[in-house]
Each structure stands twice: as structure tokens, then as C-alpha cells.
Chains A and B, each alone.
Chain A
Amino acid sequence: MSELSVNHLLGIKYITEDDINLIFETADHFKEVINRPIKKVPSLRDITIANLFFENSTRTRLSFELAEKRLSADVINFSAASSSVKKGETLIDTVNNILSMKVDMVVMRHPNPGAGIFLSKNIKASIVNAGDGAHEHPTQALLDCYSIREKLGDVAGKKVVIVGDILHSRVALSNIFALQKLGATVKVCGPKTLIPKYIEHLGVEVETNLRNALQWCDVANMLRVQNERMDISYFPSTREYTQQFGVNKKLLDSLNKDIVVMHPGPINRGVEITSDVADSKQAIILNQVQNGVAVRMAVLYLLASKIQ
């Protein structure tokens, strides 16, 4: 197979295992490219990409922009904070105005779940979802799985626990879909208030004891506590959260095996993981960031090849 089954990357839910493997194989080649003295290929030189960020982002935005530039695409950036969105323009109007400037692809982050899907039905451009509310963040899940594959050789058969704020996390949902499609077993762990009520229907088990979860897993993906999305109090205090669901070196050392620790960033050091864990050899947090560029290059390259 040399082509994706979709024209947009809206979520992991909508792509197949073959798609994911094709993205990974392509990312392998781009990883080699970004380690060359000249880290650029001319493939997308006739493509213009708009990065529309209606929500704050550092890593994802830089990573996408770098991926686009390394593929030689023309890039325009847009952030809601400094735009006409503040003046009351609708999403379709904003995007159509940008598209009338002849843009071929749109990378969008939006606070509303389904914003990418809505856009894909209404405009003519290839859409890449860079996070839509608490729904999906497909490229993050792809780079997480890619990093697991790189570290452990394969994703199939691995046991992965996702720890923390599952309720508000698009990273968790995309990761669950991606890991399951690739044959991994997934558990979630966190305070009951931050675990969605019917999560078992996705085929994941819930574990409320962090120690048991870590003892079971090969990989622990530590999520950030998303204070900005919490309108009510979900746990008594940050200190109590850290005591029950924070990973520290002592806890890792007390396990009878070495597990891989991941974090999608940005880290709240001392909350979900301590600094000595984040900077330890078991953590592959910076590998995730590096792989993010290669994986995003692969996604953009494969989607661009389908543009007529």
C-alpha cells in the first residue's frame, strides 16, 4: 500500500492500521532526512499550508511549522488571539477567506470538538486536525506510538497505561484508538472524577491504583493536569493529586522492571512527574518531540500526494 485511505487526518478513529503503518514507514525515511546536514526536501514546493491555531500551542505548532518547512511548503500562520475571530467572524468565513488566497492544506487546532470534521465537509482543502477540544489529537498519538515502536521495537502486544486527566484529554482518546489499532493493550489510571464514565466501552480497563498500573505496564504515558479546562474542582488539591497519581523516582525504582515513561508536554514538573523522572533515561519525552517532526512530515507528505 502506498496511499492513505483518507483525504484528511481528522482523527485516529477514521484511519486504518495500514494507514498508521504507512505513516510510520514514511516517517522512518523523514527521520533520516532530518538528520542530514541539509534537512530539507523539495516534495511540497508547490503546496501552501495554513496553520490555524484557535487555541494556544507551542510544541505542536512549532513541530508542524518545521515539518512543513522541511518539506519546502509555503506556510502561513494564524492565531486566533490576534485575528478577526475576536471581531466575531465565523469559522467557515475565516477559513474561506484564507483559502481564497489559494491554500491547499489546513492544519487546525480548535477548542471545539469536531471543528476539523465540520470544516472538511464545508471547504475544499486537505485538513489536518492538530487538536480539537477534548476530542482527538491524531498526530500526537501517532508520534507517541512511533516513539514506542522505536524504543521497544513494536507496539503490538505492549501494555500501555495512560495516567492522569483522561476526561479532558484529546491525547488520551487518540492514543487509545491508535494503540488498540496497532494491537497494544491499554489501561487508564487517574482519579475517578477525571475518568470518563463509559470509558470501558472503548475496551480499556480502569485502574485507580497507580502502583498497580505501573507494575502491569511496559509504557506509562503521563498526561498533564489540564487546569485550564477544569471549570469545577475535580480533586481536593494538587498536592493530593501528586501523592496519588504523580510518578517519582522512588516509585519507579520500587518496581521490579524498567518501564518507559512518556509525556506529551508541557510538563507540570513536580505534579504528574518529578524532575528526576522527566530527565531520567527511562523517559523518552524529548525523543517524542523529535519524532513529532518526522511523523508530521509523513502525514503532510502522504496527504499532499492526494491533492488533485
Chain B
Amino acid sequence: MANVEPRIAVPETASKGDIIEIRTLINHVMNNGYNYDREGVVIPRWIINTFFVTYNGVEVFRSNLQPGTAENPYLSFFTRATESGTLEFTWLDDDGSVYKGSRSIAVT
């Protein structure tokens, strides 16, 4: 899908042990496969089917999205700030596209 630029918000800094909120939003039509176009033809299913996040290589969040998910999925979650490093975000599209983003965090 063209022009997909996920939005990601991660605190730039945190104290070790803090619970931090991570927010993400990706623009996607999320066609559920049950709707018809003006000619009566089924609009094929086309969704982001998987989203996962790693923190210094360790997976901290995963979600398998289903056709009932509304367009432009906004997902936020909480995790514990353990060490300085990088969070990697990955979205998998039905059409085989992979969208990625990353943010670094300084933990003191």
C-alpha cells in the first residue's frame, strides 16, 4: 500500500522500572471482505493482519488483527522500561507488504 507511514509515540526517556505508554497509528483501509462495490462485486479482504513490537530484540507486544478491525488501526499498550535501547515496530499487510518503524529510549 502506497504512502503508509506509521505514527509511533514512545517516551524519549524513562526511569528504570517505569510503566510507559506506547502509541501507534497506521493508515490503512482495512477492507473486511464482506462489502460490495457499486457493481455488486465483493471488495476483497485487505487488512493489516499482524502487528508486533520488540524491545532490544525481545518481543513485548503482538496482536493478530481480524477483519472486524476498523480502518486506520490505532493500537496502544503499556510496557516496563527495563534498559536503554530500541523498540522496533512491524505491521504485516495481507498484500505481503511489511511496514516498519523504530524509536529509541534512554532509561536511567
| Interaction A to B | no
Binding site for A on B (CB under 8 A): none
A residues lining the B interface (CB < 8 Å): none
